[in-house]
């Protein structure tokens, strides 16, 4: 399919942290899964398109990357609100998750993908269970994802590692390379040294990244010091995991030494501001991390600890939290924020040809409607993009050169059926959990 998107304002991608570039009166030419041209309309080459999309009043920009979530947890939306993290997990989440089925995970995955596409997310990084079902949902929807089976190990059996390895062997680079697989140990506190060493070996064998929760809470931080005499980042370094690509979720409780270590090792930080606030985990020192040279990306976490998969809320919150927490309005620029939501995430997922709109890159893009009252007047488009734009402004979402969402219409999902299945499976799941608790 050859598609011409014309009459747009183009944001080709953030290539530095100073400013967000914009090109007026532009065109984007898509040939199959790749971008053939993105630039001023006057400079566009001859191109015979199968479809022409008039993007007047729209901003064409790279699709968003939700870099830490647990998509099937859409079925647990609003469960356990206003509890401390330990109670939230042990009283609200774990007792329900024990009763998950393949059908429930598929229904929750379809629902989460539908929600993300609506808000302009074109790729996501996930860690959960029953991951064959989530991989099938990604394959069938046309979405792009990095998936890992969450590995928990308290008894040194390392039993959870086998399904993660099986997932790699079955799904890595599947669906025209829209699906990639990670190794996904849950956290320092939920794994043994034995399984983490096996994960390091698997990373060497399969050349895949490691996705892990790091220093999410004060309890995580203190627990690691008590158990190991090391902070979680220092423990990962000691075991040799940081010699491989590591995607570290949360990173709220970080020492200056931890930050320096992650910057030096090129560890990618997956920042989840909304979830960290809702669970009262704290505020990650993102401004300090950026200054140290850490790689920062954005994620929503699962909806049970956020309540939605709208990455635009994280985009607005990321700089605002840092400004308020440091009492310095100059920290975290719009360019740094948009890079965290786009190009930095694409690179962390292992793609060198994603996250920017330029020739030869994969055609993952969105059109953002700029005509809303909340975007007027546009005195500073960089500021409007970060602080004024809403997820509901997304008019079109394209992944791998295919339009998956446009003006309320999905091309690979049937919303009525997705919602019906999600309601049914959520009800059955909660019923099973309630019966087991009696």
pLDDT in tens, 251-288: 999 999 999 999 999 999 999 999 999 999 999 999 99
3-state DSSP assignment of residue 148: strand
Residue 89 confidence (pLDDT): 87
376 in Cβ contact with 413 (< 8 Å): no
Measured distance CA(133)–CA(105) in Å, rounded:
6
Domains in the chain (CATH in brackets) are 2-63+355-407 (2.30.40.10), 64-348 (3.20.20.140)
pLDDT for 44: 97
> C-alpha distances in angstroms, 108 versus 117, 145, 214, 365?
14, 15, 25, 24
Q: Where are the beta strands (DSSP E) in 198-281?
A: 210-214, 246-250, 268-271
Residue 438 confidence (pLDDT)? 81
CA distance 34 to 29: 9
**Pairing status of strand 144-151 against strand 246-250:** unpaired
Evaluate whether 357 touches 38 at the Cβ level (below 8 Å): yes
Q: Which residue carries 């979530």 as its tokens?
A: 69
Number of neighbours of residue 436 by Cβ within 10 angstroms: 11
According to DSSP, the β-strands at 402-406 and 184-185 are unpaired
Strands lying side by side in the sheet with 295-298: 210-214, 246-250, 268-271, 295-298
Report the distance separating Cα 92 and Cα 434, nearest Å: 11
Find, among 267, 255, 127, 260, the residue nearest to 191 by Cα.
Answer: 127
Per-run averaged pLDDT (10 residues), the chain, 438 residues: 98 88 98 98 97 98 98 95 84 94 98 98 98 98 98 97 98 98 97 98 98 96 97 98 98 98 98 96 98 98 96 98 97 97 97 98 98 96 97 98 98 98 97 90
Give per-residue burial for 13-50: e unless 16+ CB within 10 Å, then b.
bbeeeeebeebeebbbbbbebebbbbbebeebeeeeee
Q: What is the pLDDT of residue 391?
A: 98
- CA angle, residues 286, 287, 292, in degrees to nearest 5: 95
Listed in sequence order, the residues at least 6 apart from 46 whose beta carbon sits closer than 8 Å to its beta carbon are none
Are 422 and 415 a contacting pair, CB within 8 Å? no
Q: Give the torsion sign (CA, 211, 216, 219, 225).
A: positive
Q: Measure the CA–CA gap between 348 and 396, rounded to whole angstroms.
A: 24
Predicted TM-score (pTM) of the model is 0.97
Spatial contact of 124 and 67, defined as CB atoms under 8 Å apart? yes
The whole-angstrom separation of Cα 14 and Cα 386 is 13
Q: What pLDDT is stored for residue 336 in this prediction?
A: 97
For every residue of 307-330, DSSP letters joined together read S---HHHHHHHHHHHHHHHHT-TT
């Amino acid at each position: 399919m050859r598609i011409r998107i014309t009459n747009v304002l183009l944001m080709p991608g953030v290539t530095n942290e100073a400013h967000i570039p914009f090109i007026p009166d532009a065109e984007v030419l898509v040939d199959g899964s790749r971008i053939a041209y993105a630039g001023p309309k006057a400079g566009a080459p001859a191109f015979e398109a199968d479809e022409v999309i008039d993007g007047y009043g729209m901003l064409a920009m790279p699709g968003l990357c939700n870099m830490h979530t647990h998509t099937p947890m859409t079925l647990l939306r609003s469960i356990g609100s206003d509890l401390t993290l330990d109670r939230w997990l042990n009283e609200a989440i774990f007792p329900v998750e024990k009763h998950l089925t393949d059908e429930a995970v598929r229904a929750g995955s379809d629902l989460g993908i539908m929600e993300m596409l609506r808000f302009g997310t074109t790729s996501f990084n996930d860690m959960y269970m029953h991951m064959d079902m989530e991989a099938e949902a990604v394959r069938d929807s046309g979405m792009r994802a990095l998936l890992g089976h969450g590995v928990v190990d308290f008894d040194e059996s390392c039993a959870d590692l086998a399904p993660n390895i099986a997932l790699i062997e079955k799904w890595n680079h599947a669906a025209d390379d829209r699906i990639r697989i990670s190794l996904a140990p849950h956290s320092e506190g939920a794994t043994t040294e034995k399984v983490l060493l096996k994960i390091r070996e698997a990373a060497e064998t399969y050349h895949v990244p490691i996705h892990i929760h790091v220093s999410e809470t004060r309890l995580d931080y203190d627990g690691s010091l008590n158990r190991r005499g090391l902070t979680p980042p220092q423990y990962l370094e000691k075991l040799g995991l940081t010699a491989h690509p590591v995607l570290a979720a949360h990173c709220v409780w970080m020492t200056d030494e931890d930050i320096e270590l992650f910057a030096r090792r090129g560890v990618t930080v997956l920042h989840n501001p909304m979830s960290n606030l809702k669970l009262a985990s704290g505020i990650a020192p993102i401004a300090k991390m950026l200054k140290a040279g850490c790689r920062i990306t954005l994620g929503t976490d699962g909806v049970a600890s956020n309540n939605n998969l709208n990455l635009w809320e994280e985009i607005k919150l990321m700089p605002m939290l840092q400004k308020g927490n440091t009492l310095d309005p100059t920290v975290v620029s719009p360019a740094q924020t948009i890079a965290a939501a786009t190009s930095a995430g694409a690179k962390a997922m292992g793609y060198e040809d994603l996250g920017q709109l330029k020739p030869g890159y994969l055609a993952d893009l969105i059109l953002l409607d700029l005509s809303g009252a909340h975007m007027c007047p546009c005195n500073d488009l960089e500021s409007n993009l970060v602080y004024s734009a809403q997820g509901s402004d997304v008019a079109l979402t394209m992944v791998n050169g295919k339009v998956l969402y446009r003006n309320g219409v999905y091309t690979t999902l049937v919303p009525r059926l997705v919602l019906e299945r999600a309601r049914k499976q959520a009800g059955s799941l909660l019923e099973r959990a309630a019966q087991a608790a009696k």
